[in-house]
Amino acid sequence: MFKRNIETDLRQWKDSDIRKPLVLRGARQVGKTSIVRKFAGENFESLVEINLERADQNAFFAGVETPDEFIKKAELLTKTHVVEGKTLLFIDEIQESLDTMKLLRFLAEENPGLHVIVAGSLLETKMAGDWSVPVGRVEYMYLYPMTFFEFLEAMGESNLLNDPKNGKELLKKHLKDYLLVGGMPEAVVSFVVGKSRLKAQEVHDRLVTSYGEDMGKYATASDKKYLELVMDFGPKVAGSIYKYENFGDSGYRSREIGEAMSLLSRVMLLREVSAISSVNLPLVRKPKRAKKLIWLDVGMVNFANKVQMEPLSGEYGGKIMEQFVGQTLIASGLRRNMELVYWSRNKDEGSAEVDFCFQYQNKIVGLEVKSGNTRNLRSLFSMVDIGGDKVIPVRVSWDDLGMEEYFHNGKKYKIRLVPFYLLEKIEEFLK
């Protein structure tokens, strides 16, 4: 099992004096179960694991009304004694039992010394209404596909990050592999072991089938066709701006596609990046403006688009690097969702659009993605003209790390340059 960035946060949760039961959120097959088992093996004397998707275990815990009763039954089932501070209680596929979900709100009060993690591949579809958990009773962490840095670690090449200037050519090579393999753990394993992109593509094929089968579990018959359309056409517009109306030339109305997008966003197969038109804080989204789509994983995007070799050429290369940048920024939100937007001037103010924006301290980072040789940054300059010192302008490209001066319309602009292969360190560079 590969090292994951979330392990640091899990250890902090374990050692916290104000720890609450942890809900681990993430799409199917991003490695939630595996990382919990690894974490338990390295930090606890024992692991008590319950899987409520198994009919026998679900029936065994049916009707349990108190945390103590649940713990006693867990001990009986697993033949393992639960000891506070030494045992990790892991409840997987908790979405299969509303009664067990409700117990979480009492565990923090009645068993504050017990370490509890819950997860569920389709939990996100039910975390509303009766399934909602009162604020303050649990805490959350998010797990995403493996990032490029995690991919390097799996490849045994993370030492390149110690001296990226001298190792940049190898970093670029590995990043191009990552773009095609992606970060789904099973795909990474197949590539690391077999050094074959074809094996990774076989994994992508199975994952697409698995996600399609899941739709029957959370969609009505009438809604399924909209979800299927988004599952099929969504990866084709990943990294670009789209509208709900007539999505994929389907003729479907905005409302149906919007609902399908919302559901797939909840199960974390995609992220919709909304527009802002202001450079003031807090970020105020424009819900009626077109959105930018970031799919779960860059490798699956290339698989869906039948790209098997060089993904970086032409218009598609620009979109795939926006997918990579968006996916990487989103994955930095382990404790809370990364609030990612893009900036676009109102139509009556002229044409200008900056690829991604997010808040950093009391400022807004404006980030332009440049996959080719163009250095046209007029939109970024426009954002700086409006926001002044409130805006931190960044260009992400294949160029080296550094600062660059631009002169445009008689003004001088200083732009931070961040190479794609060091994007995960962006907050370090912003300091």
User: Which pLDDT belongs to residue 133?
Assistant: 66
Asked whether the predicted pLDDT for residue 76 surpasses 80, the reply is yes
β 241-242/139-142 pair status: unpaired
Task: Assess contact for 247 and 257: CB atoms under 8 A.
Answer: yes
Helices (H) and strands (E) in the chain, counts: 15, 14
User: Which pLDDT belongs to residue 195?
Assistant: 78
Asked whether the predicted pLDDT for residue 134 surpasses 60, the reply is no
Average pLDDT, integer, range 87-92: 97
Name the 3-class secondary structure at 276: strand
Considering only the top CATH level, what class is 6-142? alpha beta
How large a percentage of the chain has pLDDT more than 70? 98
Asked whether the predicted pLDDT for residue 108 surpasses 60, the reply is yes
Q: In what order do the strands lie in the sheet with 139-142?
A: 46-51, 87-92, 115-119, 22-25, 139-142
* pLDDT tens digit sequence for 217-267: 777 777 899 999 999 999 999 999 999 999 999 999 999 999 999 999 999
131 — pLDDT class (breaks 50, 70, 90): low
What are the domain boundaries of the chain?
6-142, 148-330, 341-430
- 278 phi/psi in degrees, rounded to 5: -110, 160
375 — pLDDT class (breaks 50, 70, 90): confident
Average pLDDT, integer, range 325-335: 94
User: Which pLDDT belongs to residue 373?
Assistant: 73
Asked whether the predicted pLDDT for residue 142 surpasses 70, the reply is yes
Q: Answer with the residue of higher pLDDT: 123 or 165.
A: 165
Asked whether the predicted pLDDT for residue 191 surpasses 60, the reply is yes
Q: Average pLDDT, whole number, for the chain? A: 92
* pLDDT tens digit sequence for 389-422: 999 999 999 999 999 999 999 999 999 999 999 9
Asked whether the predicted pLDDT for residue 181 surpasses 60, the reply is yes
How large a percentage of the chain has pLDDT more than 90? 77
354 — pLDDT class (breaks 50, 70, 90): very high
* pLDDT tens digit sequence for 283-320: 999 999 999 999 999 999 999 999 877 777 778 889 99
Asked whether the predicted pLDDT for residue 353 surpasses 90, the reply is yes
157 — pLDDT class (breaks 50, 70, 90): very high
Buried b (16+ CB within 10 A) or exposed e, 261-272: bebbebbbbbbb
Average pLDDT, integer, range 191-199: 86
* pLDDT tens digit sequence for 169-180: 999 999 999 999
Task: Count Cβ atoms within 10 A of the Cβ of residue 143 and give its class: 0-12 exposed, 13-18 middle, 19 or more buried.
Answer: buried
135 — pLDDT class (breaks 50, 70, 90): low
User: Which pLDDT belongs to residue 128?
Assistant: 61
Cα–Cα distance for residue pair 14/3, rounded to 1 Å? 17
Asked whether the predicted pLDDT for residue 189 surpasses 70, the reply is yes
